[in-house]
Structure 1
């Protein structure tokens, strides 16, 4: 299978409210709009908010967003009136995470990868070794 493009699809109970959350509260840039939906840039992918979802249909879906500076991101979101569901803390796996939710209850994990974390370290042996 060759994947040329991908995006996360969210079906919202309140499309206008959820679209406003991603545009105005999180400040995501819009890639494109179409009747009944909006596609946002999401780092190296896309987030589409469209269609009609069931009320309170959270399931097990979540969105993982890596940020450059978690404390600064949380301060920016607080200035926009957002209180985290769970404040930032260092997880046992070594990442700094805070949790927020969109208006439909979709969990959004904000992640900062510390400079000394293996995700930032090239674990391959040096060439020629």
Structure 2
């Protein structure tokens, strides 16, 4: 499986308090914000502090793995005996996601970023 980028996901009991801690107490720089969450720079990685949108069980932490082609990645994983917990779907925030779990139940979010998504926007002066 080819991973393009990754981040650690925190789903705290009080997202606002945790966001303030990482932003204000630790002074982490913000990579981006979106309704319900903030993504911080974390050295060579990213840390997302956000609400859990679907109300299902997820635990307090998870992994976010961006892949080039979600369908091809799921086919590759199926050939290795990996079955997703949730099939791919387009989320309200514009990303295609499928969910897996590791043997301890840690959620792994496989993400494909559509070509027209703001994450792919070139913000450099033109």
Task: Please give the range of the TM-score, normalised by the shorter of the 2 chains.
Answer: 0.5 to 0.7
Which secondary structure does the structure 2 equivalent of 1:77 belong to? helix
Report the structure, 1 or 2, having the larger strand content.
2
Unaligned runs of 5+ in 2: 1-6, 9-43, 46-57
Aligned to 1:96: 96
Aligned to 1:120: 120
Aligned to 1:74: 74
Which secondary structure does the structure 1 equivalent of 2:78 belong to? helix
| Equivalent-residue separation in structure 2 for 1:94 and 1:83 (angstroms) | 23
Alignment root-mean-square deviation, CA: 2.1
Structure 1, residues 26-82: CA drift from partner, whole Å, max 9, x if none?
xxxxxxxxxxxxxxxxxx65xxxxxxxxxxxx7311000000000000000000111
Residue 60 in structure 1 maps to residue 97 in structure 2? no
For the pair shown, the structure with the greater C-alpha radius of gyration is 1
Tell me the CA shift for residue 123 of structure 1. 3.8
| Equivalent-residue separation in structure 2 for 1:122 and 1:93 (angstroms) | 18
Q: How many residues align?
A: 73
- Runs of 4+ in structure 1 deviating by more than 3 angstroms, as ranges, are none
Which secondary structure does the structure 2 equivalent of 1:83 belong to? coil
Structure 1, residues 71-115: CA drift from partner, whole Å, max 9, x if none?
000000000111100000100000000000000000000000001
